[in-house]
Structure formats: structure tokens, C-alpha cells
Structure 1
């Protein structure tokens, strides 16, 4: 479905905000027999960044309901909490001229000096993101990509696999998360800059969906995320070149077909 609102944000009393990968449904509580444990990342925010989250929600509400709530001050109460972590709330969608979130992803990747850690259920990048990751891996940056070990949509698993080979050839490392279904959408650079949100690493999120992400410029929070990422690696299987080359002919055919369909998956 094109042009859908893929944002997942909640604002409570204008003071506390949530955003990330979790939808409302039994599977997101790990109660699905099909997916089992659900591995996701959601963010809780306090402070002035909540106003940006509220503003985005009200813009969407006004568009859908035809009303104007932005002028009502009750949705933007004074903030008593003053945090020490700079947070930037960025939204993007097919209604904007620029792919703001993708552009920030590119800036983060090209700015990496040591490491790039990405978790995404859909690794179907466009050419600009793919080339950026390959270039940084060839430059000696430790690029790690973590994807699920199963697909929740037709063709997605094969499409993910079709891009893995290129990343491996460039020197990056790839992992399949095996302890349930990985739905987390995060990118962390050099343990100093972190983004958590609704944006998958795919063309649909970059061009066809309405998305929202938080960009956190904080070393302590980024290091904490990377420790979680390292723990997730313990529950993953690394896709080495040897493992990748052992794929059967059926999988290779599925990958080729899925690669052709990747812009619309």
C-alpha cells in the first residue's frame, strides 16, 4: 500500500513521547505463534523534543480530520524536565520535496570513522544508501547489518538476501537475528550518534511512506545502544561469504525476482 502513514508515535499530556517500531497488536507483544518473540526498539522521550513529536501528530490529525488543533496551547504545556541529550525529531514522506530521513542517514554513514551498526527488518536500500555502506566498508569502517532470519511479507526475505552479497563483498558483516522476529529500525554511528524510529532501510520508507525518526546526538545513549546491539549479535547467526555462497538455486531465483520487485516491496 503506497502513501501510508507508517509513523508510530504517542504523546501523553504533551509531556511524554514515544516513537519507534512497535505497533498495536498481539504480535508486538510476542504473542504470535508465527513470529514468536518480537525484538523491537521504541524510544521514550521527555523535554522539549516532545513538542516536535506533538506537532507532527497534530499536523497529521489536521490533515485527516480537517480541523486545526495547532493553535491550542493545551497541547504544548510548559516543560519542567530539562534533558542533557540533544534530540532532533525528523519526519519525511511523499508530500515533501526532500527525503529528509534518508538524507540524514547518508550524512551519518559518510561521517562514520569507526563503526556503522544497523538493525532493520527490511534491508532493501536504494543505490545511494547501498553505495554509501559499501564505500565505508571498503574504507575500513566496521559496518554491521542485522536483519531477521525470516520474512513477514512475501518476497522480503529473498529481497534482503539479494543485497547481502554485495555488502559482504565490500567487507561489511551481516547477521540474521534468530531469537524471534527482528523489527527494530536503528542506526548508530561511532557510538556517538543514534537514530531510532519507524524508517526501514528500504525504498518504500524513503519514498512512499510517511515516517518519523529521532536522531540522538549523545555518546552515552549511543554506547548503550551498541551494547544492546552486541547482545543481539549473541542471538544471531553471522552470514559469512561461505554461508552465503551455499544458497540453493531456488533461493537464488527467488532473490533475482525479488530484486526486480525491490522498489515496490
Structure 2
């Protein structure tokens, strides 16, 4: 008797039951997976086992949690109730939400400078690396072998040779060309400590026991634990030669000085401790406050965070808005709470603007995004499509004074899967700079015509809506 059909049927059923039993998953994602498992009984179970859950091993999770808590104690006394009390009451909830994610408090006494563009951001980073005295910590997703990428290589080599301790986490997939190059070897020979982050290991050791497509999407540079760069900038030219047809990549990077720099260094050090086994607690001294500086809090999210953490941070900002919200993001595939919050924001009279790239390097995400246009337009969201290139900046400015920026997109990967870093701050001056940059994006954007959205062809609507259903899977 051939038992294989029964074995396969049992395995198929077991995967469906697993998808139904997994706690914390939103109903749309659960329904999408179950539908896929029923329609594709061979391919879908394999895909589910590989990509269906953002799983990591218990040992990995425990080590990461222990490392982060140890480092977070450095900031346990830095935040205080006075910092939150000084905020307008309507803006305290977003800070409290982010504090719960980060496990340390908002800190006052920070100042920030917005870099002019991608090239200026790299030039400023190189200048600060050249001025570093003790440490340089970098976490990046994509590092290309181009003008800007090599400028960072040269700066790190110079710093390491004069005795500065340089540590680099580069995502093993996003930065694979650099990691395989002679420039990576040159940095290692100069004394730069290097980590191909989340690489696939062959020995089935601790770091191999995780979902294979989890990525380190963080973009972060910290100098001497006193200066930090936060934003969307990869270590690459805006021409982005691996995808030149979508260029220029338009990014935003904020140079921050003050106590929040130490929080950003804690984010770097916690990942370094897990992947390299080196405890940096003794090196991360407190950064001095700046007189009259603004309150801020840095936070990281990823598959080890409570489910919905990044979405909750976005949602809290939208509910806090009183007059205006301007959002830029390259990838817009929100989960239901985030979509509802954005629609609700516009419906209660807040001027809500969403700026997206006209041409997206991901056809699927671009199509899913356009399928959401009718809901957004009907709710009163002002939609704009950026013409010149791929708008890669990830920013939210509320009422011209409350701002969140960093590496997180408003898509499923950033909300649930990737390791991300962001910063929330309250400053009329600094937020005004970022809002001015957003308005510059608007000047190079076309408003989405509500009539065009409503009168899409039937085949186009069908294709986009089917992709919207599949979007909940990812």
C-alpha cells in the first residue's frame, strides 16, 4: 500500500493548522495564507515553512534580549518624567509608545542638522569619521562599490590605521558585492572589525536557526557615542548603479548630537553583541546634553519586537496629529491598523499628505500601493507621486513639530520582518527643516487624480486587488 498520498495530505493539513493556530497574526494575513495553502497544496506549504513566520530560535531570541537589556541599563536613568511633562499633552502618547518599544526613556538636550542630499550626507559622515577619536560604529543594508561607497571604505581605513576602533555591520545580502570585494579585505587588513550581518551559516549553529530572509535593514553611523546619523541613506551613490533605471535614489539623513546618540549606539552594540559575541557596555559613555536641545528617543524594531511594534509607532503619530501630517515612504503596503489610522486621520479633518515614488523598483509593491489609492482618496488623503526618481526617504512630520524618521518603510517587511532603526523627536526647528524637504519633494510631484483612480480599467483593478490579497502574506 502506498502511504505517500496520506503522508502528504497529513503534512498539508498540519501546515494549515499551524497557520490557524499561530497567535498574534492579523486576520488578513492568516486568511491570505490559508487561502494560498488551499489553492496551492504543494508550493504554498513549502513557502510557508520557509517564509510564513518571522521565526528565530529561542537561543537567538534569548541572547538578543539579554544583550539589549544589559545595554539598555546604560540609559535607564537618562530619561525622566520631566522630559515627557514638557511636551504638549497631545504628543506624549507617541513618545510613551516608542519608550515601551525601546525600553529606555526620551532624553532632552539634542540638536540636529539635516544634510543637503545623499552626496552631502556621505561627505559629512566621512568628515566625522576623520575627526573620530575613539570609535566608529556603522550598520548598513546596502554598501556599493561606487564613489560614495569607496569614500566610506577609505575613511574607515584611515581611522583604523590611526587607532580608532571601527566596527561595521553590513547586511550579508544587501552588501554582498562589497563583502566579496578586495575593499572588504582592505578594511579588515587595516584593523576594521567587520560583520556580514545575518549571513547564512553552513554549520547550523545558533545564528543559522532563523527564517532565512530576515534582513538587517538598519542605516546608522555613530561616532564616539556622541554623534549619530539616522535616516534612509545606504552607503551608495544616488545613481544607485544596481538599479539605474529608477535613479536617482532620493534619501534623507539627519546628523544628531546629544544623549540620543548613545541610544543609537546601544542599538548598534546590541546587534554586535549577538552576532560577534563582544560586549561593548564599557565603551558607550554618556553623551553630553546640548543647552536648549530637543527631546528625542531612538528605537529599533524587528522580528524580536512585540508584534505590531513598528506599526504601533506610526499609528500613535497619526492619532496624535491635530492639523497636518506629511508622510514620505517608497514602499506602502500597510497593515490594517496603519491603513485605518491614516484614513481616520484624514476623515477627522487633519490635512494628510502621502508622497510616494511614481516609479517603484518593486512592481508588486507598486501595484499593491495603487490598489489602495481609492480608499485613501475617498477618505480625503492627498496623494502625490514623485517624478524625478525613487523617493527613498522615510519621514513622518506631524503638525510641523513632531517627527519620526529612520529606516522603516510602511510595508510588511519593515513592519514585521526587517531589523530597523528610527528616531522620534519633538522640535519645531528640526521638524521644520524636514518638512521643508518634504515640500521640496511635493514641488517635484504630481497630485494623484481622484477621477483617474476611480475609473481604472477592470483588468487593472482585478490584478491590483488580487495582489493586495497576497500582500498580507508578506
TM-score normalized by structure 2?
A: 0.52
Q: Based on CA coordinates, which of the two structures has the bigger radius of gyration?
A: 2
Matched, 1:53 2:264: yes
SS at structure 1 position matched to 2:244: coil
Structure 1 range deviating more: 97-106 or 37-46? 97-106
Structure 2: tracts of 5 or more residues without a match: 1-211
Matched, 1:9 2:199: no
More helix per residue: 2
1:24-81 per-residue CA deviation (whole Å, 9 max, x = no partner) reads 234x3555531222211111111111100111101001111122222x23x4365375
SS at structure 1 position matched to 2:372: helix
Question: 2:313 and 2:300 mapped to 1: Cα distance?
Answer: 11
Per-residue deviation, 1:220: 1.6
Partner of 1:39: 250
Question: 1:111 and 1:77 mapped to 2: Cα distance?
Answer: 31
SS at structure 1 position matched to 2:396: strand
Partner of 2:374: 165
Per-residue deviation, 1:264: 4.3
Partner of 1:64: 275
Question: 2:419 and 2:317 mapped to 1: Cα distance?
Answer: 21
Question: 2:457 and 2:388 mapped to 1: Cα distance?
Answer: 24
1:123-170 per-residue CA deviation (whole Å, 9 max, x = no partner) reads 111110111111121111111101111111241110111112111010
Q: Is the 8 A contact 2:327 2:355 kept in 1?
A: yes
Per-residue deviation, 1:23: 1.1
Q: Is the 8 A contact 2:310 2:416 kept in 1?
A: no
1:193-242 per-residue CA deviation (whole Å, 9 max, x = no partner) reads 00110111122211111111110111122222222212211100100211
Q: Is the 8 A contact 2:258 2:287 kept in 1?
A: no
Partner of 2:58: none
Matches within 5 A, 1:237-252: 237-252=446-461
Q: Is the 8 A contact 1:47 1:83 kept in 2?
A: no
1:60-103 per-residue CA deviation (whole Å, 9 max, x = no partner) reads 01111122222x23x43653755611111011111122533322
Structure 1: tracts of 5 or more residues without a match: none
Alignment counterpart, residue 125 of structure 1, candidates 307, 327, 334: 334
Matches within 5 A, 1:147-226: 147-226=356-435
- The runs of at least 4 consecutive aligned structure 1 residues that moved more than 4 Å come to 29-32, 80-83
Structure 1 range deviating more: 223-232 or 154-163? 223-232
Per-residue deviation, 1:254: 3.2
Q: Is the 8 A contact 2:334 2:411 kept in 1?
A: yes
Distance 1:200-1:68 versus aligned 2 partners, 3 A rule:
same
Per-residue deviation, 1:107: 1.3
Size of the aligned set, in residue pairs, is 262
Q: Is the 8 A contact 2:354 2:382 kept in 1?
A: yes
Structure 1 range deviating more: 230-239 or 96-105? 96-105
Give the root-mean-square deviation of aligned CA atoms. Answer: 1.9
Q: Is the 8 A contact 1:6 1:210 kept in 2?
A: yes
Partner of 1:91: 300
SS at structure 2 position matched to 1:201: coil
More strand per residue: 1
Per-residue deviation, 1:253: 3.4
Q: Is the 8 A contact 2:318 2:342 kept in 1?
A: yes
Question: 2:325 and 2:411 mapped to 1: Cα distance?
Answer: 17
Structure 1 range deviating more: 124-133 or 81-90? 81-90
RCO higher in 1 or 2 (8 Å CA, sep ≥ 6)?
Answer: 1
SS at structure 1 position matched to 2:306: coil
TM-score normalized by structure 1?
A: 0.91
